[in-house]
Amino acid sequence: MTGLNRTALYDLHTGIGAKMVPFAGYEMPVQYKPGVMKEHLHCRAAAGLFDVSHMGQVLLQPKGSLQDTALALESLLPQAVLELKEGRQRYGFFTNDAGGILDDLMIANRGDHLFLVVNAACKADDIAHMRAHLSEVCEVVEVNDRALIALQGPAAEAALSAHVPAVADMKFMDVAVLDSAFGPLWVSRSGYTGEDGYEVSVADGQAADFTRALLSDDSVQPIGLGARDSLRLEAGLCLYGNDIDTTTTPVEADLVWGMQKARKPGGAREGGFPGAAQILDQLQNGAPRKRIGLRPEGRAPMREGTQLFASADSETPVGAVTSGAFGPSIEGPMSMGYVAVDLAAAGTTIYGEVRGKRLPATVTDMPFRAATYKR
């Protein structure tokens, strides 16, 4: 696989039998020997370790005050960054002028600067976008020499606190820089599986030792991209490029929970982000379609692209599936997609066309499986 980047853990992955695939310009492990199903269930039962070093790590280093940098970042997204407290992280999304989503990301306040984690496939564009709009108030620094490792599941706290005791005191969405035998670790208590757990940024040179130390704990197993996808889908979390993109607004994507009061109609800093006119209008008057969860009857998964219909014989689709898979923990198929808003209420029966047949599915509140975050 030429022309692809490798993370600091490449040799470790191949040494333990990972199947590597190209993903967002990187050679990444899609699964290890146990396979997607067992990896998924292990993460829910004990702890799963994920190499997410392909994701972008970005520092916003203020040239003046942190407040100015926070306000400048607010010009690119509909989150309240100003009120984000030191040591805390928040989910957000960059919007475009049409109100669509350019990328989703994590934003952390680390006292004298902000730390962002963005999607691998979007990171070059995100950094260019921020440099174009934020360079007067801050340096946009891409972190190129650190791996990012997620440790997720009920045993994650015990496994990580054996090396870094202070992580046990962190709450969901807390961030901290902690000294360790593997150098300074940038830790957040967060993740993308619906499980309690952590994401840890560690210097490339110490990433393999750190990972081996975690994997030496019997409760910790490495998990590939395959199970990462079924875990995040069970948790009702969006995959950028599938479930959200430049054509979906945050209101359509049902991500209004990720916008704070200060940026909404009547808020202290209402609007002021790209696409605000469209997004604020949809907030007040509704959007024509909405992202929903679906539980197909039977066992057949309704995968990405499956057309959705209001009835078993109607001609015009009312929407489509954007992610669909079998959920190992819920022991059945699950999908996420968009439908016309009048069909978006939980309990509504709609039909997905699978191999020429209309199969019934029930609109379902997400997550499909309740999250276990330590709040």
Partner 1 sequence: MKFTEEHEWLRVEDDLVVVGITDYAAEQLGDIVFVELPEEGTEVARDDEVVVIESVKAASDILAPIDGEIAEVNEALVDEPSKVNEDPTGAAWMFKLKVTDLSVLDEFMEEDAYKAHIG
Q: Which residues bind partner 1 (CB under 8 A)?
A: 31, 35-38, 226, 230, 299-301, 303, 325-326, 328, 333, 355
Three-state DSSP class for residue 175: strand
Neighbours of 250 (CB within 10 A): 27
Cα–Cα distance between 359 and 308 in angstroms, integer? 9
Residue closer to partner 1, measured from CB, 85 or 299: 299
Cα–Cα distance between 56 and 148 in angstroms, integer? 9
Minimum distance of partner 1 from residue 18's CB (angstroms)? 14
Residue closer to partner 1, measured from CB, 258 or 360: 360
β 220-222/47-51 pair status: parallel
Among 307, 324, 304, CA closest to 315? 307
Question: What distance, in Å, lies between the first and last C-alpha atoms of the chain?
Answer: 42
Whether the ω angle into residue 367 lies within 30 degrees of 0, i.e. cis, is yes
Contacts of 364 (CB under 8 A, 6+ apart): 292, 293, 294, 295, 334, 346
Minimum distance of partner 1 from residue 16's CB (angstroms)? 18
Cα–Cα distance between 24 and 224 in angstroms, integer? 14
Minimum distance of partner 1 from residue 241's CB (angstroms)? 18
Provide the 8-state DSSP code for 205.
H
φ/ψ of residue 33, rounded to 5 = -60, -40
Residue closer to partner 1, measured from CB, 266 or 356: 356
Residue closer to partner 1, measured from CB, 197 or 328: 328
Residue closer to partner 1, measured from CB, 85 or 355: 355
Residue closer to partner 1, measured from CB, 299 or 375: 299
H or E segment at 45?
helix 36-45
Minimum distance of partner 1 from residue 321's CB (angstroms)? 13
Minimum distance of partner 1 from residue 306's CB (angstroms)? 11
Each as own residue / partner, the long-range contacts of residues 87-90 (CB below 8 Å, 24 or more positions apart, any chain) are: 87/111, 87/174, 87/175, 87/176, 88/173, 88/174, 88/175, 89/173, 89/174, 89/175, 89/188, 89/190, 90/173
Asked if residue 157 belongs to a known ligand binding site, the reply is: no
Minimum distance of partner 1 from residue 295's CB (angstroms)? 14
Residue closer to partner 1, measured from CB, 226 or 293: 226
Minimum distance of partner 1 from residue 361's CB (angstroms)? 14
Binding-site residues, please?
A: 199
Binding-site residues for substrate, please?
A: 199
